[in-house]
């Protein structure tokens, strides 16, 4: 008998992801799965998004890391409900981890939920969490070749944030080359160049996000 371990794992994950999605839809919570390599600026993007949305959208955050609560502590200091998931070595979140974390969030009082995945450009692509949109945060210091080296990630996301554009004058980063690689894989992706440090491009992201949340 052929043992299909990987298929079974992914099938079970998909079932739980669908249950998570039904709960989000029932509660009216719009959910983003934020993925990136370590250090690209996932937490910084969430932090930059929180302040402009105070009084407009109620936000919650799930932070995924191998260990520590550093990122969840950063978010909690902003007065935002945050839950930390430590994977203990796993390179991605899965739907069951998210399912277990959800009772610790006030979903009835949440409009927008960020799920920050573990820093990795490969593993998270295979595991749905129940999210409405997948977001990748790339950063200019990583290099302009990432879409070519990690096509699996760049081909499945709905949104691409290119962070740290304030550093472009200091780097050998060919923006046109980067965009061609992305568009060859994913021509319909929403693209936001920005700097979480300086605020450049952040307002365009905020406006788009508010519109998408209101549209459901």
74 located within any domain:
yes
Helix (H) or strand (E) holding 85: strand 82-86
190 located within any domain:
yes
The DSSP code sequence of 17-50 is HHHHHHHHHHHT-EEEEEEESTTSSHHHHHHHHH
* pLDDT, position 6: 52
Chain Cα centroid distance, residue 66: 16
How far apart are alpha carbons 61 and 74 in whole angstroms? 11
13 located within any domain:
no
How far apart are alpha carbons 186 and 170 in whole angstroms? 28
Residue 30 has pLDDT above 60, yes or no: yes
16 located within any domain:
no
Phi and psi at 191, nearest 5°, equal: -115, 125
Are 10 and 126 contacting, i.e. CB atoms less than 8 angstroms apart?
A: yes
- Residue 167: strand pairing partners: none
Q: In total, how many domains does the chain have?
A: 1
201 located within any domain:
yes
Mean confidence (pLDDT) of the chain: 95
Computed on alpha carbons and rounded to an integer, the radius of gyration of the chain in Å comes to 17
pLDDT in tens, 49-99: 999 999 999 999 999 999 999 999 999 999 999 999 999 999 999 999 999
The DSSP code sequence of 91-128 is SS--HHHHHHHGGGS-GGG-SEEEEE--S-SSGGGG--
How far apart are alpha carbons 69 and 151 in whole angstroms? 30
98 located within any domain:
yes
Residue 139 has pLDDT above 80, yes or no: yes
Residue 10 has pLDDT above 90, yes or no: no
pLDDT in tens, 150-184: 999 999 999 999 999 999 999 999 999 999 999 99
Domain residues for the domain of 51 are 27-215
CA-based angle 62:26:205, to the nearest 5?
Answer: 50
Left if phi > 0, otherwise alpha if psi is -120 to 50, otherwise beta: which for 118?
A: beta
Residue 211 has pLDDT above 90, yes or no: yes
Q: What is the CATH number of the domain that holds 101?
A: 3.40.50.300
* pLDDT, position 9: 62
How far apart are alpha carbons 160 and 151 in whole angstroms? 13
Query: 166 in helix, strand or coil?
Result: helix
1 located within any domain:
no
The tokens for 22 are 């039904």
177 located within any domain:
yes
């Amino acid at each position: 008998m052929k043992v299909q371990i990987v298929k079974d794992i992914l099938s079970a994950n998909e079932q739980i992801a669908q249950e998570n999605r039904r709960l989000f839809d029932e509660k009216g919570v719009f959910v983003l799965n934020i993925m990136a390599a370590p250090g690209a600026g996932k937490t910084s993007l969430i932090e930059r998004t929180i302040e402009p949305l105070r009084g407009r959208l109620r936000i919650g955050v799930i932070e995924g890391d191998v260990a520590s609560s550093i990122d969840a502590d950063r978010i909690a200091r902003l007065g935002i409900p945050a839950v930390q998931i430590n994977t203990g070595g796993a390179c991605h979140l899965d739907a069951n981890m998210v399912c277990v974390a959800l009772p610790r969030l006030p979903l009835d009082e949440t409009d927008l939920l960020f799920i920050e995945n573990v820093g990795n450009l490969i593993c998270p692509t295979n595991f749905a969490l129940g999210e409405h949109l997948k977001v990748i945060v790339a950063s200019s210091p990583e290099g302009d070749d990432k879409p070519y080296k990690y096509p699996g990630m760049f081909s499945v996301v709905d949104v691409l944030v290119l962070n740290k554009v304030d550093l472009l004058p200091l780097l050998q980063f060919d923006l046109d080359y980067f965009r061609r690689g992305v568009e060859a894989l994913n021509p319909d992706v929403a693209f936001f160049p920005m700097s979480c440090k300086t605020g450049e491009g952040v307002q365009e992201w905020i406006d788009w996000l508010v519109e998408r949340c209101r549209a459901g």
